[in-house]
Amino acid sequence: MRGPIVIKDRSGKTLDIYDLDDLQDAADQYIFTFQNHRTRARLDLALTKKAMKKGGLSIEDFWDTPSFLLRKDDEKPNAFRVEFISCRQRKVVRIRMRRSR
């Protein structure tokens, strides 16, 4: 019998699996609503348009991704590390997003 799938980063910290549930376009940022695979809890995170441009990311990169790995950022309060595979860029994208207010 199998239990739940647990994914950990290199340091052994557990990563939660999320789906992109919604996306809102604000003046200078995007608000992403992620939903936890297991608990169905929702989390709103913001990413500035400037940071997206700097990282070469597009909205389609997020919508085309089936799942995201999220964990709280140890360095910044109210921030999360988000990791996902970008099909367009053909690489793993690692970004920091902050909680939406």
Q: How far is residue 15's CA from residue 88's CA, in Å, rounded to a whole number?
A: 23
Nearest Cα residue to 85 out of 57, 54, 48: 57
Nearest Cα residue to 69 out of 100, 45, 101: 45
Nearest Cα residue to 43 out of 25, 16, 62: 16
Q: Is 91 exposed, middle or buried (0-12, 13-18, 19+ CB in 10 A)?
A: exposed
Using the structure block, give the residue that is written with the tokens 């990413």.
47
Q: Which of 18-22, 27-31, 74-78, 80-84 has the lowest mean pLDDT?
A: 74-78
Residues 36-86 pLDDT 10s: 988 899 999 999 999 999 999 999 999 999 999 998 988 998 999 999 999
The residue ranges of every structural domain in the chain are: 21-99
Predicted TM-score of the model (pTM): 0.85
